[in-house]
Amino acid sequence: MIQVYTDGATNVNTEKSGAGIYIKAGEKKLEYTVPLPYMSNHEAEFHAIIEALKICKMNFPEEILSFRTDSKVAADVIDKGRTKNKQFLPLLEIIQAEAADFPFLFIKWIPEKENSRADQLARKAIHQQSS
C-alpha cells in the first residue's frame, strides 16, 4: 500500500498557490512541489490530491493508495463521494475519475502536525513561482 500525504497552500498576499505531495512507498520516499494558479486554500487542497493521483498513476499503477490530508473538507467530500459546493463538484469528479484506475483509495484526515512534510512542500511550491 502506498501512503500519500498531500497539502495545498495559498498565499493571498502574493496571489499564488501550490501543492505539496509526499509519498511513502516501502523504503522509497518521494517529494513533489507543484505550483498552482491562484485559488482558494480549499481548492488547492483538492488540486494537491489530483496531482498526487496523476503521479501515482505514472509511478504506482494498480497499487492500493492511502491518502492523508489535513483538509477535513477534502477528506469528507472525497470519502462521501458527493458535495453541494459548486466549486468542489468538478474537482471531486476529476478525483473520482483518476481514482477509478486504482483497486482502492482510502482517504483519511490527519492533524496538521502529522502532515508537516507535505505542508513544507506546498509552501515551497508557492515560492517556486516567478513574480
User: Does the pLDDT of residue 131 top 60, yes or no?
Assistant: no
* Alpha-carbon distances of 69 from 10, 13, 15, 19, rounded to whole Å: 16, 24, 23, 12
pLDDT of residue 100: 96
Cα 97 to chain centroid, rounded:
15
Which residue shows C-alpha cell 501550490?
Answer: 18
Q: How confident is the model at residue 130 (pLDDT cuts 50, 70, 90)?
A: low
- CATH code where residue 113 lies: 3.30.420.10
Domain count, the chain: 1
Which residue shows C-alpha cell 493521483?
Answer: 53
User: Does the pLDDT of residue 70 top 80, yes or no?
Assistant: yes
User: Does the pLDDT of residue 94 top 80, yes or no?
Assistant: yes
Torsion of CA 117, 42, 125, 109, to 10 degrees: 20
Q: How confident is the model at residue 128 (pLDDT cuts 50, 70, 90)?
A: confident
pLDDT of residue 11: 96
Alpha carbons 105 and 1: distance in angstroms, whole number: 10
Residue 23 structural domain: 2-128
Strand pairing class (105-109; 16-25) = unpaired
Residue 73 one-letter amino acid? V
Average pLDDT over residues 103-120: 97
